[in-house]
Amino acid sequence: MTASAKPGPKGTEGEEPDRRQQIVAAAAEIFFDKGYERACIDDLIARVGGSKRTIYNIFESKEGLFTAVVDSFLTDYAKRIDAVSAADEAGADLRTSILAFARASTSIVYAPPMLSLYRVLIGEGRRFPNLAKSFFERGASVVATVLTRILERHKAKGELVIEDCRLAAEQLMGLVRDYQYLGVLLGVCEQPPPEVLEHRIIALVDIFLDGVATHRRA
């Protein structure tokens, strides 16, 4: 964890698995460990070698570097959401799609890098508004859009009673990030094991689709 195999200055030990990717991974660890502001480029140099000049050539700025870190995770997570959307478009029924969304979404928000990103950006977001904005808009915001589309498709089939699909989507996202998630984010609760998460996923889908009341409102 501390003194990992630092590549020599010339760094030609076989096939480098994409130098850029390697830098981004190291930068992620530093940002997650020390936060955005306290992280410094020199720490990064100390880990991956090379020169500051190279870093700035590739990433433009410290913000650009952080954005690259965000991207490296978001692109992966986006695929999971897109898969849900594709299955829905292919004709999955309502409950199946919502369940798939809840699973994908849960796997994303509890992923350690995602927790770290939220910790950094919630803590320092007001100081670095464009970082927080870009993270939110390219992360949660597109997820909300995709989910809204899914809900609208089912509403068109007469399967939903709601007026505002966007609002329902945003609230379903809240169900995923519930009290327990908050505990994990605060570092108070351990990462829940998969079976616990699955149990909660089932429960939240039931609540979202059917509610908890015995008799529905008039």
In angstroms, rounded to a whole number, what is the distance separating the alpha carbons of residues 108 and 105?
5
State which of residues 5, 13, 14, 53 lies at the interface with DNA (CB under 7 A): 53
Indicate which of a second copy, DNA, none lies near residue 167 (CB less than 5 to 8 Å, by partner kind).
a second copy
Q: Identify residue 202 by its one-letter amino acid code.
A: I
Q: Identify residue 26 by its one-letter amino acid code.
A: A
Indicate which of DNA, a second copy, none lies near residue 192 (CB less than 5 to 8 Å, by partner kind).
none
10 binds DNA (CB under 7 A): yes
Nearest 5°: CA angle at 22, between 21 and 26?
A: 115
Burial of 198 (0-12, 13-18, 19+ CB in 10 A): middle
Question: CB neighbours (10 Å) of residue 166?
Answer: 15
Tokens at 183, concatenated = 């505990």
112 binds a second copy (CB under 8 A): no
In angstroms, rounded to a whole number, what is the distance separating the alpha carbons of residues 185 and 96?
28
Q: Considering beta carbons, is residue 83 or 162 the nearer one to a second copy? A: 162
73 binds a second copy (CB under 8 A): no
Q: Considering beta carbons, is residue 65 or 109 the nearer one to a second copy? A: 109
Q: How far is the CB of 41 from DNA (least distance, A)?
A: 4
50 binds DNA (CB under 7 A): yes
State which of residues 1, 57, 215, 217 lies at the interface with DNA (CB under 7 A): 57
